[in-house]
Amino acid sequence: MREVSLQTALGSLSALRNHGQGPRVLALHGWLDNAASFLPLAPFLDDVELVALDLPGHGRSAHLGAGSDYSFAGSIAAVLDAADALGWERFRLLGHSMGGAISCMVAAACPQRIERLALIEAVGVLTEAPARTHLRLREAVAAQRAIKGKQLRVFPDIDTAVRARMQAGRVPGSGLEADLVRLLVERGLREVPGGYVWSSDPRLTLPTLVRMTEAQVDDLLAGIECPTLALFADPPQPYLPDAARQHRVAQLPDGRMVVQQGGHHLHMQQPAQVAEVIATFLRA
């Protein structure tokens, strides 16, 4: 895959693009990951036109301006602007984890633009109980104020950054091997005097100011008009147990669910098996 740069109103967005000539597929990675998340899967999708995006604040893409908020709803503009920069009026979405949640929002907001939706370890968005609305706001605002002026850790070499990423639990439940973590880390670093720092915006670690309720997510999913495939790993993640993900898939007008043994990053760990499920769906 080759490096491309997309100029948008939100700033320059970086991406990896293959040489495929088939259906147009925009791939969105998970939280604190980047476009390299899709490198293991890319060889199995060489007959689609695949563009794996670094979402704003991630990988090699620009950070949002001061005072901006990295909300899922705000990411809709980034995705549509990226598609516009590619000259894509209609396209397909492939999203992992956070990227899958954002993909759901884009598909619900702009059904006329999304042809198909493939989700990996995601359906809908994280929710909050209504009674915790004010507490979440307090916690998020306090964290926003506390992060100002925070110094980034400098890693003397890439190996040290790989070990830190593995120890930090940024890949929960995945058991990612060091060579796969390295793919993400190498794209997620920038060089500074004395070594390397994370290129991702520190504000990405802040709590979300406002989350949807479960009822709102049901309505969001009911508004997704395109065919949707949701691929999940077994065992399920604690934040979305099996009963919850089955309920959510059932809200989709044209959705189906597939479960494979694996971890949260199963598209990196077992790309051939994942491709068997999603490649035919994306090509249709």
Catalytic positions = 97
Strand, helix or coil at 79? Answer: helix
Residue 61 phi, psi (nearest 5): -85, 160
- Tokens 């604690």: give the residue: 238
Peptide bond into 235 cis (omega under 30): yes
Under 8 Å between Cβ of 78 and 65: no
User: Rounded CA gap, 81 and 93, in Å?
Assistant: 14
Q: What separation in angstroms does the CA of 217 have from each of 37, 101, 196, 251, 263? A: 26, 10, 39, 9, 24
Cα separation values, 208 from 51, 67, 70, 74, 85, Å: 27, 14, 8, 12, 28
Spatial distance between the Cα atoms of 211 and 209, rounded to a whole number of angstroms: 7
Residue 122, CA distances (Å) to 131, 241, 251 in order: 24, 11, 14
Backbone phi and psi for residue 137, each to the nearest 5 degrees, phi listed first: -60, -45
